[in-house]
Amino acid sequence: MRKHAVVGTLAALTALVGIGLGTGVAMASAPAGCNNTVVCLYADDDYSGGGFFKNTPGGRYNLGNEGFNDETNSWYNNSDVDAKWFFDINQTGASRCMQPRSGNHSLSLYDYDEASSLAIYTDNAAC
């Protein structure tokens, strides 16, 4: 009886932790190395593996020109403006908005290693 109660409590705790981790999109503070005002794309999950870092509002980039085509697995936008990554070059194909001061530490399998271009906007109303 007592053993069952302990197991039940552990299961409840595990479920709570799972809910907390499962939301996934925003984190409290930027990862180390993603400096203020910078949009950071990373080759691996959890903001690791090296990446592509830009802090130029209005900037448009083809990631193949930067040696970073179809590499992105996680990102953090540590700027105050919207940014967007695109499946294809020249800001075409499906896209994903990167809201200011937010991140995604592990893209979905569908989005894994797909980013081919990037737009950094000049305000936070672009997407």
CA 24/CA 74 separation, integer angstroms: 11
Which lies closer to Ca ion via its Cβ, residue 71 or residue 82?
A: 71
- Give the contact letters, 70-89, x = binds to Ca ion (CB under 5 A), - = no: xx-x-------------x--
> Residue from 31, 33, 38, 43 that binds Ca ion (CB under 5 A)?
43
Least distance to Ca ion from the beta carbon of 67, Å? 13
DSSP 90: T
> Residue from 76, 116, 117, 118 that binds Ca ion (CB under 5 A)?
116
The H or E element spanning position 74 is strand 74-77
Least distance to Ca ion from the beta carbon of 104, Å? 13
Q: How wide is the angle at C-alpha 79 spanned by C-alphas 81 and 48, nearest 5°? A: 130
Least distance to Ca ion from the beta carbon of 7, Å? 38
Residues binding Ca ion: number (CB under 5 A): 8
Q: Which residues are CB-neighbours of 72 under 8 A, at least 6 positions away?
A: 41, 42, 43, 51, 52, 63, 85, 107, 113, 114, 115
The H or E element spanning position 19 is helix 2-22
Which lies closer to Ca ion via its Cβ, residue 74 or residue 81?
A: 74
Q: Which of residues 2-41 bind Ca ion (CB under 5 A)?
A: none
Binding residues (CB under 5 A) for Ca ion: these are 43, 70-71, 73, 87, 113-114, 116
